[in-house]
Structure 1
Amino acid sequence: MLIITCLACGSIYAQPNTDSLAYQNQRQKINAMLAARSAKFDQYDASLSKHTGIFGMQTKKDIRRSNDILMDIVKTDNDILKQTKVLLTFKNNQLDSRVFQQQTIQTKVHETESNVLAYMNTINKLRDQNDKLQAGIKNAEKGQSTMEFWLIAVIFLFIITSILFVLSKKRAIKM
């Protein structure tokens, strides 16, 4: 039973975990988004240093371009936060799944242990009953052999008494 339980536990852990694959894909997606954000921030930094106006001043067009890049960075940040929430959900689900598997395994182990103990108790009770029955059989055999002895003795005494009685009658008739 213990070996079967160990094999069952091993097969549970040997199965590929699709949640971990989704978790890894989600991490890669977030890392790609972070790299894109870093590139956009570099673009924003470069746009801040551009001054295409007269006397080296920034124009409205330069400021709008910088603001557009900044808004794109904010959108990317929001998307990163959403995807991070999804990633945390995957992680929590993995933890919940592992806890559930461990609880299931522990429950099966406890059930197996209790079944083994119950079987052992039953075997011990049956052994005790068998010992009592064997002792009863020996006592019955001793009683039977004793009864057979007394029966044979009584029959032998009856035969001897009968022979003596017949002989005494024959002597009495002859005399």
Structure 2
Amino acid sequence: MKFSPIRLLLASCALLLTFTPSMAQRQAADTLGYENQRQKVNELLTQRSQRFGQFDESLKRRTGIFGLKTKKDMQASIDILKQIVLMDNDIFRETKMLLDYKDFEKSQIADQASEFDGRINGYIKTISKLQLQQEQLASEINGLEKTNQIYEGIAVLLGLILLGGITYVFINRQKLTKT
């Protein structure tokens, strides 16, 4: 069976493409996870902005005598400010998770790239090895064809010699029988 470099390259590409869909699905899942985490951080930022608006309103609220702030007004402002600080802690934690996620994706992409490089180098080595074997087999076939031609030439020569010998014997017998 003859292996051409084009056939080997096509087979290698087909083999590589069989692994690609599962990797693409994994990347899509990773990207989806990152997007979900990003949306979570955005939601927290929106909630923080709303709480800060509530804090601003509570600072303006004055329910005391002569338009002064009461202890209750100040306590409400402090409670809202505590919620904002807790929200900021959540935002920092979720943002760190988002950055860790991105770093994980980068390292995963780098790992996949090195894995693909290794596979491609392996395919190249295999193709080179098969091409070398193909060249060796082609030279072996050429040698066998030359040997076969020599044997065919010898067989034709022996056949001609044999035919000539039979013809010679036949002619000599006829001469002997006529005399």
TM-score range (shorter-chain normalised) is 0.7 to 0.9
Aligned with 2:68 (options 51, 57, 72): 57
2:110 corresponds to: 99
Cα distance between partner residues in 1 of 2:47 and 2:164? 114
TM-score w.r.t. the length of structure 1 is: 0.75
Mapping of residues 1-175 of structure 1, within 5 Å: 1-15=11-25, 17-143=28-154, 145-146=156-157
Cα distance between partner residues in 1 of 2:164 and 2:50? 119
Cα distance between partner residues in 2 of 1:8 and 1:94? 22
Post-superposition shift, 1:152?
8.1
Cα distance between partner residues in 2 of 1:104 and 1:12? 15
TM-score w.r.t. the length of structure 2 is: 0.74
Post-superposition shift, 1:71?
1.2
Post-superposition shift, 1:78?
0.5
For 1:59, give the aligned amino acid. Answer: T
Q: Is the contact made by 1:51 and 1:59 (CA closer than 8 Å) also made in structure 2?
A: yes
| 107-116 or 80-89, larger mean C-alpha shift | 107-116
Cα distance between partner residues in 2 of 1:101 and 1:12? 12
Post-superposition shift, 1:126?
0.6
Cα distance between partner residues in 2 of 1:43 and 1:154? 124
Cα distance between partner residues in 2 of 1:155 and 1:36? 114
Write the deviation string for residues 118-172 of structure 1: whole angstroms up to 9, x where unpaired.
1111011111011112212222343455567678889999x7xxx9xxx9xxxxx
Cα distance between partner residues in 1 of 2:156 and 2:56? 114
Runs of 4+ displaced beyond 4 Å: 143-157
| Closer/same/farther in 2, CA of residues 104 and 12 from structure 1, 3 Å limit | farther
Cα distance between partner residues in 2 of 1:156 and 1:52? 141
Q: Is the contact made by 1:44 and 1:69 (CA closer than 8 Å) also made in structure 2?
A: yes
Q: CA RMSD in A?
A: 2.9
Consecutive unaligned residues in structure 1, runs of 5 or more? 168-175
Write the deviation string for residues 31-81 of structure 1: whole angstroms up to 9, x where unpaired.
221111111101110111112223222222222221111111011001100
